[in-house]
Amino acid sequence: MTDGLDDVYGGSLALLTDLYQLTMACGYWKGGDADREAVFHLTFRRAPFGGGFAIAAGLAPAMAFLQRLRWQDDDLAYLATLRDSEKQPLFPQGFLDYLRDVRFSCTVDAVPEGSLVFAHEPILRVTGPIAQAQIVETALLTLMNFQTLIATKAARVCQAARGAPVVEFGLRRAQGIDGGIGASRAAYIGGVAGTSNVLAGKLLGIRVMGTHAHSWVMFHGDELAAFRAYAEALPGNCTFLVDTYDTLEGVRNAITVGKELRARGHELAGVRLDSGDLAHLSIEARRLLDEAGFPDARIVASNDLDEHLIGSILEQGARIDTFGVGTKLVTAFDQPALGGVYKLGAYRNGEGRWHDAIKLSEQPIKISNPGVLGVKRLRRDGDGPPARAHRPGAPAARGRRHPDRRSAAPPHPARVPPGARADATPPRDPQRAPPAGGAQPARPAGRAVPGRTRAHAPRGARPRIRRRRGGVRRAGRGVARAR
């Protein structure tokens, strides 16, 4: 799976930041502290949707953004037009010259996409010159927050579906082009089987799915004629939408055309239900299809579904093979944003020693964890020693590399262990993984190990991905490293 940034955004993204990031960077530069080493952590304060976990996503676009971070002449020309409250240039020319020469040289440690993550646990850690680490805060949050939120929603929906495939249908209801593509990518990481979004299929390598809408039937006037016309045009892609007029009559019409298809050497793929009592209608549709000799025809259900409705439908004995989920997935309908934050954890003092930093608040949830933080995951099965957290300057942990931005192969979708129920409270130790097993984990069952992706380059050099043996630099299991 690629990141999509190069294909969608052709120009510079260096100004994808809030103004106060640049004013602080200017202050560091003026005070002679721009190159002072510091550590920032990207975390979230509370698991979304009232659950006990989140699914990390957005890392590949974030890495791509950092790798191409460079201030172009037109970026600097715009910054030169900004004025302060005294109508003077906001940024001195020396600072703009400094930005022109900046090449991102921080080290980034991150949990691999598709991993379970918990509140106050670092998803991503940036170590390097404080001015650079400060400037990228906003971009990292916008890239990681949204996709982590949608991947988590997708994981909850897939968990509720009890193994039935889920297809993301949400492009038409997404928040713009970027929201649609980002949601398709994150939903796939969260576990969906495919998307209706053709551009996401092209850019990201996700399987695309779809047949026809109600307008096809309405145009032909007669439902049976509409199904026949579609079968004539695309005989190998016949999942008929049967609820334009009368759902069960639509199923009977689909069966009629299915028999005609079979006589021509094709098969009816299935029917789609998009309204009404989905549990009852799916049971009746399954009965009609089986009696007519189409036991392999799949029943697809849609209609403003989410994890709660899917769970309720299945509790009623629904016979649904595939769920199409759109609006409530791509918009994270019941929680519009992840409460992700990016906080300073430590910095080098004038003597070069680490000095821990903490944000205090009258709201306990807003108090940050000081220091240089890492993530340790312990194995419940006792198979091997736990991985060690990494501190900047110490030898890097070894492990499996995250797919880089140029890889055509998508990362494995997330699998949520049964111990991480959608409505579960976080484990007592938020660093400890939930019980292993269950549907679709990002790595082998029984393993819960830390992941890191490192993007590091000497100051003044462009970060690059070092590749070996088909693009993978292997040194063990569970973590990723790209230099």
| 152, 190 Cβ separation under 8 angstroms | yes
| 168, 325 Cβ separation under 8 angstroms | yes
List Cα–Cα distances, 75 to 3, 28, 70, 460, in angstroms.
23, 20, 9, 19
Domain range list for the chain: 1-135+339-483, 152-330
C-alpha triplet 357, 132, 104: angle, nearest 5°: 135
pLDDT digits (tens, 9 = 90+) for 214-229: 999 999 999 999 999 9
What pTM value is reported for the model? 0.80
pLDDT at 377 (0 to 100):
81
Chosen CATH of 1-135+339-483 out of 3.30.70, 2.30.30, 2.60.40, 3.20.140: 3.20.140
pLDDT at 77 (0 to 100):
98
pLDDT digits (tens, 9 = 90+) for 127-154: 999 999 999 999 999 999 999 999 999 9
Q: Rounded to an integer, what distance in angstroms lies between the CA atom of residue 446 and that of residue 380? A: 7
Architecture of domain 152-330: Alpha-Beta Barrel (3.20)
pLDDT digits (tens, 9 = 90+) for 1-17: 655 555 566 789 999 99
